[in-house]
Amino acid sequence: MMQRLRVEPYSSYLERRRKGPIYPVTLAGDFVFLSGLPPFEPGTGEIKRLSFERQAEIVLAQMQECLEAAGSSLAQVLKCNVYCAPEPTHFAIFNDIYARYFPSESPARIFHRPFDIEVDCVAVA
């Protein structure tokens, strides 16, 4: 059984850009799948040029909210793919912020660098 969830305000933010219904969370059995979300400015939904640190904080907070909307949590995350711009300092900055969200036994992770920041994950419901 599969179920797609709208999560506000992210579904509306994405729909304004993509002109179609957006479901950032998909539940399938005991798994939660999240779409990658860009660093929307909280409150406005705009994507602005912010510091890399602020972008990372925003996308990880969005990930946490989407997981909680699905009845899951950061503690249930099995794996994260991190897509990041090729700036050499981003890896260390992201690791510091990531450690705040996953303070012990962080999930498996891939760290790609073609974008400023985008994070997806797989979690257990």
Q: What is the pLDDT of residues 57-99, one digit of tens each?
A: 999 999 999 999 999 999 999 999 888 877 888 888 999 999 9
3-state secondary structure the chain: CEEEECCCCHHHHHHHHHCCCCCCEEEECCEEEEEEECCCCCCCCCCCCCCHHHHHHHHHHHHHHHHHHCCCCHHHEEEEEEEECCCCCHHHHHHHHHHHHCCCCCCEEEEECCCCEEEEEEEEC
- In this prediction, residue 96 carries a pLDDT of 93
- In this prediction, residue 31 carries a pLDDT of 93
Q: pLDDT confidence of 113, banded at 50, 70, 90?
A: low
Q: What is the pLDDT of residues 17-37, one digit of tens each?
A: 777 788 899 999 999 999 888
Which of residues 116 and 36 earns the better pLDDT score? 36
- In this prediction, residue 102 carries a pLDDT of 94
- In this prediction, residue 114 carries a pLDDT of 65
- In this prediction, residue 98 carries a pLDDT of 94
- In this prediction, residue 56 carries a pLDDT of 94
